[in-house]
Structure 1
């Protein structure tokens, strides 16, 4: 079994995936808030 050395793993793919996830969640929250505001204004 190989010795583990902290900080040597290539994590570019994981970072790209996480960045995409954060962007998706951010847009989802913005859309949800927009829908809630729209619903509140329409229903008075």
Structure 2
């Protein structure tokens, strides 16, 4: 599979697109954030 064919989501914190990763294979539907840093900063987004 080509990288361009992988699913893409937009991170609600940084607003950047991120693509599917092998480590998220079983949990892709629940992945919301592109990185651990964005996940930790989710409280900042909730207050906006």
Q: Decide: shared fold, TM above 0.5.
A: no
Question: Higher Cα Rg: structure 1 or 2?
Answer: 1
TM-score (norm 1): 0.24
Q: Which has the higher helix share?
A: 1
TM-score (norm 2): 0.23
